[in-house]
Amino acid sequence: MSFTIKKALIPTENGYTTTDLRIEGDRITAIAADLDPVGEVIDGQNKLLLPGFVNAHTHSSEMWQRGMIPLYPLELWIEELHEFSPLEPEQIYLSALLTAAETLLSGGTCVVDHLVWIPGKELESVAATVRAYQEIGIRAFVGPLIQDETQSKGIPDGGEDRELEEYHYSTQQVLDLMQRVIEDFHQPEAGIEMMVAPTGIQLCSEDLFKGCVELSDRYHVCRHAHLLETKAQQLLAQEKYGFSAVEYLKQIGFLGDRTSLAHCVWLDDRDIEILAATHSTVVHNPLSNLRLGSGIAPILKYRQAGVNVSFGCDGAASNDGQDLLEVLKVGSFLHNITDSDYRQWIAPREAVKMASEGGYQGIGLESEVGSLTEGKQADVVLYDLTKLSLLPRTDPLNLLIMGCPNNVVDSAWVKGEIVVANGTPTRIDLEDLRRKLFEQSEWTTNRKSAHVAQVEQHYRSVMNLPK
Amino acid sequence: MSFTIKKALIPTENGYTTTDLRIEGDRITAIAADLDPVGEVIDGQNKLLLPGFVNAHTHSSEMWQRGMIPLYPLELWIEELHEFSPLEPEQIYLSALLTAAETLLSGGTCVVDHLVWIPGKELESVAATVRAYQEIGIRAFVGPLIQDETQSKGIPDGGEDRELEEYHYSTQQVLDLMQRVIEDFHQPEAGIEMMVAPTGIQLCSEDLFKGCVELSDRYHVCRHAHLLETKAQQLLAQEKYGFSAVEYLKQIGFLGDRTSLAHCVWLDDRDIEILAATHSTVVHNPLSNLRLGSGIAPILKYRQAGVNVSFGCDGAASNDGQDLLEVLKVGSFLHNITDSDYRQWIAPREAVKMASEGGYQGIGLESEVGSLTEGKQADVVLYDLTKLSLLPRTDPLNLLIMGCPNNVVDSAWVKGEIVVANGTPTRIDLEDLRRKLFEQSEWTTNRKSAHVAQVEQHYRSVMNLPK
């Protein structure tokens, strides 16, 4: 199928131009004024055309827990997360569909899903997720969240001698599962890729990390992990290695130009140099970092050091909204209070570049996708600039990123296929999804977690909080 | 007109209950299960009923400049603001209408408009604003932004001997205008109140402040001002008074239980004690404080000290979105990174209370409005919990405040009148407003401000920024 988008506004180096853009097959084949109409003609007047963004870190199944978990730091929050996780592959399918829909309707064309799978139903979880992404037509990178250490190991000992359970799978069992996932589901040509995605240094052994590196090299899949999201994890790295977690990841070969690392809040200048030298990507998750009180990631420093930075919503249990435009807004404004020199601040035009070019760079696709360039794959989004929330008319990119846009995505294409038209996904029934989500859930309040109570005292003691 | 809302969910102390609520005249006259239907019956099933919020600090006419001003700190940003302000009362009317519409559609029932009026057309500006608010039916407090010192006085001298122009009106002329505004437009019984609202210590003489206090006492109107929004203003207060701006405002009698103060970012512990002792209200404007790099206001400290805190969007030139729910979200999450003890964090239930009870307290109406209580005025909002952005169902208030709600306001009442129904304002034609805003504006980019260039060198020098 071909499309000719007529008279859309697109950003130039410093301003805007009005132009036509042609999509044939999966590619952008022409960008010029007054193109002959080929295929379906799309009216681009008073619309802004941008490359799609990558939602570069989320956990789709957490959709079932949005609005559920009270205000806790990560280490307590995660106890509730595991206690109330969905247990049926059908739920995993629906939450992946919702994640994809909210990503597409806020400017994203690709989702990186650090998937919390169902214990004992791991392959079914991945199958349900992949099915959802293929149905709705979004590009997706799926990296099951793997670990080989029990949850409580994620909190520093703080000198205490704790007796902790063994994890329910051995390291080898986890790696075997991961290999099976890659062999069964990795289909780059279809826009569905698997990733190796150990949870992070807090819950993974060295053997697990090394096994992941080996799988990544053997199958040429991307690597993904959480990195130093909280101060507790920084303390833990000191307990575990006696030196920086970033230095550790470098030594065992996990870093590289196909490695993206979520959060990166507690890194120092030496760590930042390592990320730059290894061409690793930082995924900025500003809203969950606020909700969980993790801190402000030093994003201006990353940019000054030449580290690639992209944006992620993070899972809906820690950023209960899942709107990429909100993430770009808060994720750029937030740094204005960390450096008084406004010349360092992230302008909307830069944020858009980070979310698109930076996003695809973090998953190794920068030469194929991520900008409005002839020959690149057509993962593009058309925004309706006549919506009330984008009026009066001033600077379109400023309105989009600094404002609070409401239902402004008009159309979106992934690999040349139209997946959103007239503000709604074309290939699924959004109303049917809405009804199922309503029917399969119920109002809750003040769910009390037994697990939180178990670890809270230890956590408060280690973090020097009042009893 | 009367209304009976049937089977709505309302928050109780720790959970929710399903109940009916009756509105007769301008009051809530009954809250109980199974009320006999009186007047129009509203289906409240799967809807959440809350008291309306106060948008406790904004500048409506800045709507014309949303998306226009690049990333600058306040002192440079304001030069652009004045250069590109609207100049026709008809524009002022449209921007007030848009401000009211966005407030109503994000849960607000009252707007506090620190109005930037048109020089030479001051009374026409207020008339246009009041007309808009009365037409759409929102409760409004209008405080024209007055000053009697020229703009450049807002930046500290830093030891430099600057020659600055006189302001174009004398102090007495400004006060005479304010008196005229109060006499002509203050109509509390109609839900339209005037306020005395000097810009702040940075641009107002002692005579202007004292004149405002006198007018406020004589006419019993509320007081409003900006307070220590930026570090530069803190320096300026030291230059001007040699001691704290808060101490100064207390000495001249400006503080009190009908005084609300926007921003309050750079206050110390002694200042906070003064605010608590004088029962003054802090208006938290988290998004503009981020956009302008002003800082994070110490909201947790205010709350611990017993200072009343409400929320404001601030003007659209410094918070280009105007969504109260977004302000409540960011304005509560933001403080999680300022105190590692999560027991101090602001839960959604608290944020809602601050925005409603706290909001009305800041404008002296706490005994009349701001909670779901029999006998109080009916300024209430009904949210549709079946919208996709609030699914799956978990805790309704958490979803509303921690999520990213999209078109969730179903209905709203102000003083018992229905002003929003089926998600759209009932008394104005929103589509007509949208078309006018589109037609009366144009895309712009990289507007260069001559004024910014004039003050930038001095600003950078005073603030110790690299040349």
Instruction: Given the cut 0.85, state whether the ipTM is greater than it.
Output: yes
The three-class DSSP label of residue B116 is coil
Q: Tell which of B74, B103, B393, B439 to mutate to test the A interface (max A CBs under 10 Å).
A: B393
* Residues of chain A found within 8 Å of residue B440, distances taken between Cβ atoms: 392
Q: Residue A83: its pLDDT value, please?
A: 85
The three-class DSSP label of residue A50 is strand
Fold of the domain spanning B54-361: TIM Barrel (3.20.20)
Site of tokens 């004149």: B211
* Residues of chain A found within 8 Å of residue B347, distances taken between Cβ atoms: 70-71
- A353 Cβ contact list (under 8 Å, min separation 6): none
Q: Residue B454: its pLDDT value, please?
A: 85
Q: Is any Cβ of chain A less than 8 angstroms from the Cβ of B302?
A: no
Peptide linkage before A392 cis (omega within 30 of 0)? yes
- Which has the closest alpha carbon to B352: B327, B319, B316, B377? B327
**Nearest CB to A67: which of B68, B321, B403?**
B403
Q: Tell which of A7, A388, A457, A467 to mutate to test the B interface (max B CBs under 10 Å).
A: A388
- Residue A288: exposed, middle, or buried by beta-carbon count in 10 A (0-12, 13-18, 19+)? buried
Fold of the domain spanning B2-50+377-439: Urease, subunit C; domain 1 (2.30.40)
Give CA–CA dist A150/A136, Å, rounded: 35
- B460 Cβ contact list (under 8 Å, min separation 6): B466, B467
Fold of the domain spanning A53-359: TIM Barrel (3.20.20)
Shortest distance between the Cα of B347 and any Cα of chain A, in A, equals 7
Q: What is the interface size between A and B, counted as CB pairs within 8 Å?
A: 222
Taking an 8 Å cut-off on Cβ atoms, the answer to whether B395 and A444 are in contact is yes
Q: Tell which of B64, B394, B436 to mutate to test the A interface (max A CBs under 10 Å).
A: B394
Give CA–CA dist A217/A223, Å, rounded: 10
Q: Is any Cβ of chain B less than 8 angstroms from the Cβ of A187?
A: no
Q: Is any Cβ of chain B less than 8 angstroms from the Cβ of A391?
A: yes
Give CA–CA dist B237/B234, Å, rounded: 5
**pLDDT above 90 (res A165):** no
Rg of chain A taking only CA atoms, in angstroms: 22
Q: What are the tens digits of pLDDT across the range B388-443?
A: 999 999 999 999 999 999 999 999 999 999 999 999 999 999 999 999 999 999 99
Q: Same topology for domains A2-50+373-439 and A53-359, yes or no? A: no
The three-class DSSP label of residue A320 is coil
Chain-wide mean pLDDT for chain B? 96
Q: Which helix (H) or strand (E) holds A419?
A: strand A417-421
- A113 Cβ contact list (under 8 Å, min separation 6): A58, A59, A60, A96, A99, A129, A133, A140, A141, A142, A143
Reported confidence tier of residue A437, pLDDT bands at 50, 70, 90: very high
Q: Is any Cβ of chain A less than 8 angstroms from the Cβ of B136?
A: no
Percent of chain B at pLDDT above 90?
Answer: 92
Reported confidence tier of residue B152, pLDDT bands at 50, 70, 90: confident
* Residues of chain A found within 8 Å of residue B437, distances taken between Cβ atoms: 388, 391-393
Peptide linkage before A156 cis (omega within 30 of 0)? no
Give CA–CA dist B275/B268, Å, rounded: 11
Q: Which residue of A has its CA nearest to B231?
A: A340
Q: In this structure, are residues A37 and A23 in contact, taking their beta carbons and an 8 Å threshold? A: no
Phi, psi of A383 (to 5 degrees): -105, 140
Q: Residue B160: its pLDDT value, please?
A: 86
**Nearest CB to B295: which of A231, A337, A386?**
A337
**Nearest CB to A323: which of B72, B290, B404?**
B404
Q: What are the tens digits of pLDDT across the range A97-146?
A: 999 999 999 999 999 999 999 999 999 999 999 999 999 999 999 999 99
Give CA–CA dist B112/B58, Å, rounded: 6
Taking an 8 Å cut-off on Cβ atoms, the answer to whether A465 and B333 are in contact is no
Q: What are the tens digits of pLDDT across the range B125-136?
A: 999 999 999 999
Q: Residue B118: its pLDDT value, please?
A: 95
- B304 Cβ contact list (under 8 Å, min separation 6): B344
- B267 Cβ contact list (under 8 Å, min separation 6): B227, B228, B246, B275, B298
Q: Tell which of B14, B66, B85, B397 to mutate to test the A interface (max A CBs under 10 Å).
A: B66
Q: In this structure, are residues A46 and A6 in contact, taking their beta carbons and an 8 Å threshold? A: no
Calculate mean pLDDT across residues A440-466. Answer: 89
Q: Is any Cβ of chain A less than 8 angstroms from the Cβ of B71?
A: yes
Q: Can you say whether the dihedral through the CA atoms of B394, B400, B405, B409 is positive or negative?
A: positive
Taking an 8 Å cut-off on Cβ atoms, the answer to whether B403 and A321 are in contact is yes
Q: Residue A163: its pLDDT value, please?
A: 81
Q: How big is the CA angle at A296 (ends A268 and A294), to the nearest 5 degrees?
A: 95
* Residues of chain B found within 8 Å of residue A342, distances taken between Cβ atoms: 71-73, 76, 293
Give CA–CA dist A281/A224, Å, rounded: 9
Reported confidence tier of residue A152, pLDDT bands at 50, 70, 90: confident
Taking an 8 Å cut-off on Cβ atoms, the answer to whether A337 and B433 are in contact is no
Phi, psi of B189 (to 5 degrees): -65, -25
Q: Which residue of B has its CA nearest to A341?
A: B465
In A429-448, the residues whose Cβ lies within 8 Å of chain B are 430, 433-434, 437-438, 440-446
- Residue A457: exposed, middle, or buried by beta-carbon count in 10 A (0-12, 13-18, 19+)? exposed
Shortest distance between the Cα of A130 and any Cα of chain B, in A, equals 21
Question: What are the boundaries of each domain within chain A?
Answer: 2-50+373-439, 53-359
Site of tokens 């208030």: B397
Q: Which of A117-126, B79-88, B329-338 has the lowest mean pLDDT?
A: B79-88
Taking an 8 Å cut-off on Cβ atoms, the answer to whether B294 and A337 are in contact is yes
Amino acid at site A209: F
pTM value > 0.95: yes
Taking an 8 Å cut-off on Cβ atoms, the answer to whether B67 and A399 are in contact is yes
Q: Is any Cβ of chain B less than 8 angstroms from the Cβ of A68?
A: yes
**pLDDT above 90 (res B14):** no
**Nearest CB to B437: which of A73, A287, A391?**
A391
Give the CATH number of domain A2-50+373-439; options: 3.20.20.70, 1.10.3720.10, 3.40.50.620, 2.30.40.10: 2.30.40.10
Q: Is any Cβ of chain A less than 8 angstroms from the Cβ of B168?
A: no
**pLDDT above 80 (res B448):** no
Higher pLDDT, B151 or A229: A229
Q: Tell which of A58, A291, A397, A402 to mutate to test the B interface (max B CBs under 10 Å).
A: A402
Q: What are the tens digits of pLDDT across the range A297-321?
A: 999 999 999 999 999 999 999 999 9
Q: Is any Cβ of chain A less than 8 angstroms from the Cβ of B393?
A: yes
Burial B383-394, CB ≥16 within 10 A → b, else e: bbbbbbbbbbbb
Phi, psi of B293 (to 5 degrees): 65, 25
| Per-position DSSP letters for A369-406, written without gaps between them | SSS--TTSB--EEEEETTSGGG-S-S-HHHHHHHS---
